Chain A
Amino acid sequence: MRLLTHNMLSSNIKGVVNGFPLRIEAEKVAEKSVEMNREFLKKMFQKVHWKAFVDASRAMGYTELPEKADSSMLNSDEFLNRFHHALLELHLEEGALVCPETGRRFPVNKGIPNMLLPQEEVLLSIIIC
């Protein structure tokens, strides 16, 4: 799972008010290089939740992203390279996504997060929240 996917997912437990961002527990991270698409990155920069993205990249062991970013940085190749790398080249292979409110862990195996909730857990979570 790439961090772009992480940036658009939130906890699906019913009753949770703010299920975003899911905290990442990384056990294994893979890197796969892909060609950089500047126009795409510029478009995504407007859509990505930056703080969640930076925190997620750090949880994956990548610390090169600045804490704060603004669109003037998109003129820098160095910044674009780092943004590209963190957004599209890092893959969470093993670990978990954790609901920020309930602490419920969604396991990630072979790169695939399991976001399924058994029905009774959905009901229980309503009571808890």
Chain B
Amino acid sequence: MPMLYIEMHTLHYSIIFALHDWAGPWNRDCGSVEQRMIQNLGRKNESESLNQSPEKMKLKQLEGLLGGLQQFPQPKVELEQYPTGPHIASRMLFTAENSFGDVSDRVVADFGCGCGTLGVAAALLNAEHVLSIDIDPESLEIASLNAEELELDIDFIQSNILDLGWRGPIVDTVIMNPPFGTRKVGADLDFLSVALKVASQAVYSLHKTSTRDHVKRTALRDFNASSAEAICELRFDVPKMYKFHKKKEVDIAVDLWRFVPARHQRST
């Protein structure tokens, strides 16, 4: 897969996103982490968007609209509910659309949608059909209000991602900000396993940078992905959200990944 827009400078995003135990045992893997794929998506895309036709949404517009969405009033720690901020969500979907063509006219599913930010972003970028799934009814209520507010048609389903039954290769793209597995080890990879079965084109996901090698190996070897690329590294500013957060604010490095599922035939 071609790496687009490679520019070698570290990207520091300020994102409202929290993670517990970020400096825990995972960080011992850091020595082997490849640092070569860090690129500045934001700036490149912003300058590109100036040349686009007027009806196509610009990054700043997208980020602005996502900034108006309602977020978790009372996050549930057991579900690792941390909001995907407008900054990261807009860049994630903007990249999926403008670098890879994985959003407009596509069927997009948002796994563990929370308050619906990623699915809303996909709908704003002209996904033909968006299906957002979460286990938590309160999140879904907020998410559907968020979609209604922006007059977007999004389908919602209440389900555990790991339990849902699927038929046929209808979903093109899965987007997700999975639980990072801080409370329940491996939760993010459980999500990834299902996403790679459901998507026929691509999966976009966020995983802790400290787990980069592990994520890549698992996706290629165990989940049959045909490619797994960390597109960029993002730095999250973590505000103190939960009681167990000891410091007021910390940084956590997160990778934006693009996975391509293996071509497969599913029964119809």
Complex-state Cα separation, A117 to B128, whole angstroms: 29
CB pair B144 A111 closer than 8 Å: yes
Interface stretch of the complex, out of B15-23, B69-77, B155-163: B155-163
Interface stretch of the complex, out of A3-11, A55-63, A64-72, A74-82: A3-11
Complex-state Cα separation, A88 to B156, whole angstroms: 14
Which residues in A have their C-beta under 8 angstroms from that of B153? 2, 32, 34, 88
B101-121 contact mask (Cβ, 8 Å, vs A): 1 or 0: 000010100000000000000
CB interface residues, B 34-86, toward A, < 8 Å:
none
Which residues in A have their C-beta under 8 angstroms from that of B157? 1, 5, 9, 112-113, 115
Interface-centre pick from A10, A48, A88, A115 (highest chain B CB count, 10 A): A115
Q: Does B169 contact A (CB under 8 A)?
A: yes
CB pair B170 A115 closer than 8 Å: no
CB pair B128 A37 closer than 8 Å: yes
Complex-state Cα separation, A10 to B163, whole angstroms: 10
Q: Given A4-B107, A110-B144, is A115 in contact with B167 using a C-beta cutoff of 8 Å?
A: no
Which residues in A have their C-beta under 8 angstroms from that of B131? 5, 8
CB interface residues, A 18-37, toward B, < 8 Å:
19-21, 32, 34, 37
Q: Does B164 contact A (CB under 8 A)?
A: yes
- Interface range on chain B (Cβ under 8 Å from partner): 20 to 34
CB pair A115 B129 closer than 8 Å: no
Q: Given A40-B105, A112-B144, A116-B135, is A47 in contact with B168 using a C-beta cutoff of 8 Å?
A: yes
Distance in angstroms from B136 CB to nearest chain A CB is 10
Interface-centre pick from A2, A5, A114, A117 (highest chain B CB count, 10 A): A5
Which residues in B have their C-beta under 8 angstroms from that of A117? 163
Distance in angstroms from B65 CB to nearest chain A CB is 19
A interface residues, tally (CB under 8 Å)? 33
CB pair A47 B170 closer than 8 Å: yes
Interface-centre pick from A10, A34, A47, A112 (highest chain B CB count, 10 A): A112
A87-127 contact mask (Cβ, 8 Å, vs B): 1 or 0: 01000000000000000000000111111110000100000
CB pair A39 B170 closer than 8 Å: no
Interface-centre pick from B144, B163, B171 (highest chain A CB count, 10 A): B163
CB pair B171 A8 closer than 8 Å: yes
Distance in angstroms from B267 CB to nearest chain A CB is 9
Q: Which of B140, B168, B169 contacts A112 (CB 8 A)?
A: B140
B245-268 contact mask (Cβ, 8 Å, vs A): 1 or 0: 000000000000000000000001
Q: Does B165 contact A (CB under 8 A)?
A: yes
Which residues in B have their C-beta under 8 angstroms from that of A1? 155-157
Complex-state Cα separation, A114 to B137, whole angstroms: 9
Q: Which of B105, B159, B169 contacts A12 (CB 8 A)?
A: B159
Distance in angstroms from A96 CB to nearest chain B CB is 13
Top 3 A-B pairs ranked by shortest CB distance?
Answer: A10-B165, A115-B159, A8-B170
Q: Kindly list 4 other residue pairs between chains A and B, CB separation below 8 angstroms, not including A2-B153, A112-B156, A114-B137.
A: A1-B156, A8-B166, A8-B168, A49-B168
The contact sample of 28 A-B pairs, CB cut-off 8 A, is: A1-B156, A2-B153, A2-B155, A5-B131, A7-B168, A7-B170, A8-B167, A8-B170, A9-B157, A9-B165, A9-B166, A9-B167, A10-B166, A11-B165, A12-B159, A19-B165, A32-B153, A44-B170, A49-B168, A49-B268, A88-B128, A111-B156, A112-B140, A112-B144, A112-B156, A113-B158, A115-B157, A116-B160
Q: Which residues of B contact A (CB under 8 A)?
A: 105, 107, 128-129, 131, 135, 137, 140, 144, 153, 155-160, 163-171, 268
